[in-house]
Structure 1
Amino acid sequence: MGHHRFSDIVGEISPERRARIDAIKEEARADAVAFNLAELRRHRELTQVELAERLERAQASISAMETADDNLLSTWRAVVESMGGRLELVAVFDDERIAIPTSDSA
């Protein structure tokens, strides 16, 4: 039995199907970001109210951050620092990891 490329078997993807696939991928990416922020908070054993107090924000803003499609690096930095940590940005490749300087670590 020979080997066949997947694209040869299923054929070309229509622009409509590509758009649906891209939308699903974007939705999954957004869910992962929100999940990660909420998970970080829970991992540090903080409630939304406690985190809001540390950031001097309303609890509703924490909820919005956890369900946002995208959070700025400055948002992540503020959250991590409010928990006593330091945010580091690293680009990960197959053969190396490169630290990316942020404005306060440069």
Structure 2
Amino acid sequence: MAKKFEELRSRMAPESRARAESRAQAMLAEMPLNELRQARGLSQKMLATVLHVQQPSIAKLEKRTDMYLSTLRSHIEAMGGELEVIARFPDGAIKIRNFSDLDNGAAAR
């Protein structure tokens, strides 16, 4: 007989629950564009309308592994978000405002 998830979870050690929660949050923090769009409650057609393109263009874009940052920025902004590019180094992280001007060397937070 199948057990309810909540019942199984209640039997887990607190450390295991914390570890599972941490992994779940990490998975939610990283996702492909198509999953991000779906999580935002948008269809490809809805996003295509906002971007003034055809739906197949959205499908093609979501499958790409390489694209211009301007294209990605438009896609993210159409979903109501903001794209940030952060360069991570051993001694800190820098948010890149554009590719010729760094944020005065301030570490991104």
Which TM bucket (shorter chain)?
Answer: 0.5 to 0.7
Q: Which structure has more RCO (C-alpha within 8 Å, separation ≥ 6)? A: 1
Aligned counterparts of 2:60 and 2:38: Cα–Cα separation in 1: 16
Aligned length: 71
- Which residue of structure 2 aligns with residue 42 of structure 1? 38
Structure (1 or 2) with the greater strand fraction: 2
Paired residue secondary structure (1:97): strand
Structure with the higher fraction of residues in helix conformation: 1
Moved over 6 A (4+): none
RMSD over aligned Cα, in angstroms?
Answer: 2.2
Runs of 5+ consecutive residues of structure 1 not aligned to the other structure: 1-34
Cα 1:56–1:101 change in 2 (3 A) is same
Instruction: Give structure 2 stretches of 5+ with no counterpart.
Output: 1-30, 104-109
TM-score (norm 2): 0.57
Q: TM-score, normalised by structure 1?
A: 0.58
Partner residue, 1:53: 49
- 8 Å Cα contact 1:88-1:102 kept in structure 2: no
Aligned to 1:67: 63
Answering whether residue 91 of structure 2 is matched by residue 92 of structure 1, we say: no
